Amino acid sequence: MSAPAPAATVLRPARPDDVPLILELVRELAVYERLEHAAVATAADMHAALFGPHPAAEVLIAERGGQAAGFALFFTSFSTFLGKPGLYLEDLFVRPAHRGLGIGRQLMVELARIALARGYGRFEWSVLDWNAPAIAFYRGLGAQPMDGWTVQRVTGAALQALAGASD
Protein backbone atom coordinates (compact mmCIF):
# COMPACT_ATOMS: atom_id res chain seq x y z
CA MET A 1 0.00 0.00 0.00
CA SER A 2 1.40 3.40 -0.95
CA ALA A 3 1.50 6.41 1.31
CA PRO A 4 -1.28 8.97 0.85
CA ALA A 5 -0.45 11.90 -1.40
CA PRO A 6 0.51 15.05 0.50
CA ALA A 7 -2.25 17.62 0.81
CA ALA A 8 -2.12 20.31 -1.85
CA THR A 9 -2.08 23.97 -0.92
CA VAL A 10 -4.91 26.04 -2.32
CA LEU A 11 -4.66 29.82 -2.53
CA ARG A 12 -7.89 31.76 -2.79
CA PRO A 13 -9.12 35.33 -2.36
CA ALA A 14 -10.76 35.99 0.99
CA ARG A 15 -14.54 36.23 1.19
CA PRO A 16 -16.63 38.29 3.62
CA ASP A 17 -17.30 35.18 5.73
CA ASP A 18 -13.52 34.84 6.22
CA VAL A 19 -13.30 37.97 8.41
CA PRO A 20 -13.21 36.00 11.72
CA LEU A 21 -10.47 33.75 10.27
CA ILE A 22 -8.48 36.76 9.04
CA LEU A 23 -8.66 38.34 12.49
CA GLU A 24 -7.52 35.05 14.06
CA LEU A 25 -4.54 34.89 11.69
CA VAL A 26 -3.70 38.56 12.31
CA ARG A 27 -3.70 37.94 16.06
CA GLU A 28 -1.45 34.88 15.63
CA LEU A 29 0.92 37.02 13.58
CA ALA A 30 0.83 39.74 16.25
CA VAL A 31 1.81 37.20 18.92
CA TYR A 32 4.70 35.99 16.73
CA GLU A 33 5.86 39.58 16.17
CA ARG A 34 5.48 40.41 19.88
CA LEU A 35 2.89 43.04 19.00
CA GLU A 36 -0.30 41.59 20.43
CA HIS A 37 -1.07 44.93 22.11
CA ALA A 38 -1.25 46.54 18.66
CA ALA A 39 -3.76 44.08 17.16
CA VAL A 40 -6.96 45.98 17.97
CA ALA A 41 -8.89 45.61 14.69
CA THR A 42 -12.48 44.47 15.08
CA ALA A 43 -14.54 42.34 12.73
CA ALA A 44 -16.41 45.49 11.66
CA ASP A 45 -13.11 47.27 10.94
CA MET A 46 -11.81 44.40 8.86
CA HIS A 47 -15.07 43.86 7.00
CA ALA A 48 -15.26 47.54 6.04
CA ALA A 49 -11.59 47.66 5.00
CA LEU A 50 -11.70 44.51 2.90
CA PHE A 51 -15.28 44.29 1.62
CA GLY A 52 -16.81 47.74 2.03
CA PRO A 53 -17.66 50.14 -0.80
CA HIS A 54 -14.00 51.22 -1.16
CA PRO A 55 -11.82 48.23 -0.22
CA ALA A 56 -8.44 49.31 1.17
CA ALA A 57 -6.76 45.91 0.95
CA GLU A 58 -7.09 42.36 -0.29
CA VAL A 59 -6.33 39.01 1.31
CA LEU A 60 -5.18 35.68 -0.06
CA ILE A 61 -5.92 32.69 2.15
CA ALA A 62 -3.71 29.60 1.94
CA GLU A 63 -5.49 26.35 2.76
CA ARG A 64 -3.93 22.94 3.17
CA GLY A 65 -6.01 19.86 3.77
CA GLY A 66 -9.10 22.03 4.19
CA GLN A 67 -7.51 24.05 7.01
CA ALA A 68 -6.32 27.64 6.94
CA ALA A 69 -2.53 27.50 6.80
CA GLY A 70 -1.71 31.17 6.30
CA PHE A 71 -2.55 34.43 4.62
CA ALA A 72 -1.21 37.47 2.81
CA LEU A 73 -2.81 40.90 3.15
CA PHE A 74 -1.83 43.44 0.49
CA PHE A 75 -2.86 46.71 -1.10
CA THR A 76 -1.98 49.03 -3.95
CA SER A 77 0.78 51.57 -3.45
CA PHE A 78 2.13 54.07 -5.97
CA SER A 79 5.59 55.04 -7.21
CA THR A 80 5.91 58.60 -8.44
CA PHE A 81 9.30 57.75 -9.92
CA LEU A 82 7.91 54.84 -11.96
CA GLY A 83 4.57 56.51 -12.57
CA LYS A 84 2.94 53.16 -11.79
CA PRO A 85 1.11 51.47 -8.96
CA GLY A 86 2.82 48.85 -6.87
CA LEU A 87 1.77 45.98 -4.66
CA TYR A 88 2.54 46.45 -0.98
CA LEU A 89 2.48 43.36 1.22
CA GLU A 90 1.35 44.38 4.69
CA ASP A 91 1.28 40.94 6.29
CA LEU A 92 2.44 37.45 5.38
CA PHE A 93 1.91 34.68 7.91
CA VAL A 94 2.06 30.91 7.81
CA ARG A 95 0.94 29.01 10.87
CA PRO A 96 3.77 27.12 12.59
CA ALA A 97 2.29 23.69 11.85
CA HIS A 98 2.39 24.49 8.13
CA ARG A 99 5.84 26.06 7.88
CA GLY A 100 8.52 24.46 5.75
CA LEU A 101 6.00 23.24 3.17
CA GLY A 102 6.50 26.05 0.66
CA ILE A 103 3.30 27.91 1.52
CA GLY A 104 5.01 31.24 2.12
CA ARG A 105 6.79 30.91 -1.20
CA GLN A 106 3.51 30.06 -2.96
CA LEU A 107 1.89 33.16 -1.51
CA MET A 108 4.82 35.35 -2.59
CA VAL A 109 4.82 33.86 -6.11
CA GLU A 110 1.07 34.51 -6.43
CA LEU A 111 1.50 38.09 -5.23
CA ALA A 112 4.26 38.64 -7.81
CA ARG A 113 1.94 37.25 -10.48
CA ILE A 114 -0.86 39.58 -9.36
CA ALA A 115 1.51 42.56 -9.51
CA LEU A 116 2.61 41.70 -13.04
CA ALA A 117 -0.91 40.94 -14.26
CA ARG A 118 -2.05 44.35 -13.01
CA GLY A 119 0.87 46.15 -14.65
CA TYR A 120 2.42 47.22 -11.34
CA GLY A 121 6.00 48.44 -11.27
CA ARG A 122 7.07 46.97 -7.93
CA PHE A 123 6.28 44.56 -5.12
CA GLU A 124 7.54 45.58 -1.70
CA TRP A 125 7.12 45.04 2.02
CA SER A 126 8.78 45.65 5.39
CA VAL A 127 10.27 43.09 7.76
CA LEU A 128 11.20 43.42 11.41
CA ASP A 129 14.96 43.77 11.93
CA TRP A 130 15.08 40.85 14.39
CA ASN A 131 13.15 38.40 12.19
CA ALA A 132 16.16 36.56 10.76
CA PRO A 133 14.14 33.60 9.37
CA ALA A 134 11.89 35.98 7.40
CA ILE A 135 14.84 38.03 6.16
CA ALA A 136 16.60 34.87 4.96
CA PHE A 137 13.37 33.70 3.29
CA TYR A 138 12.98 37.01 1.45
CA ARG A 139 16.64 37.07 0.36
CA GLY A 140 16.09 33.57 -1.06
CA LEU A 141 13.31 35.02 -3.22
CA GLY A 142 15.65 37.66 -4.60
CA ALA A 143 14.48 40.57 -2.41
CA GLN A 144 16.96 43.31 -1.61
CA PRO A 145 16.93 45.57 1.46
CA MET A 146 16.31 49.24 0.88
CA ASP A 147 19.45 50.51 2.59
CA GLY A 148 19.26 54.15 3.50
CA TRP A 149 15.49 54.07 4.03
CA THR A 150 13.78 54.02 7.40
CA VAL A 151 10.04 53.55 7.82
CA GLN A 152 8.37 56.49 9.54
CA ARG A 153 4.95 56.34 11.19
CA VAL A 154 2.54 58.72 12.91
CA THR A 155 -0.36 57.15 14.87
CA GLY A 156 -2.71 57.82 17.75
CA ALA A 157 -2.20 61.07 19.65
CA ALA A 158 0.69 62.11 17.39
CA LEU A 159 -1.54 61.71 14.33
CA GLN A 160 -4.30 63.74 16.00
CA ALA A 161 -1.82 66.45 16.96
CA LEU A 162 -0.36 66.61 13.46
CA ALA A 163 -3.81 66.83 11.87
CA GLY A 164 -4.74 69.65 14.27
CA ALA A 165 -1.48 71.55 13.85
CA SER A 166 -1.70 75.00 12.31
CA ASP A 167 0.38 75.77 9.26
- Please confirm, yes or no, whether 32 is among the known catalytic residues: no
Q: How far apart are CA 40 and CA 38, in angstroms?
A: 6
* Residue 25 falls in which region: left (phi positive, over 0), alpha (psi -120 to 50) or beta: alpha
| Residue of 32, 88, 120, 138 with catalytic role | 138
Residue 143 sits at φ, ψ, to 5 deg, of -70, 145
64 with 9: CB under 8 angstroms? yes
* Residue 18 falls in which region: left (phi positive, over 0), alpha (psi -120 to 50) or beta: alpha
* Residues, the chain: 167
Q: Which are the catalytic amino acids?
A: 138
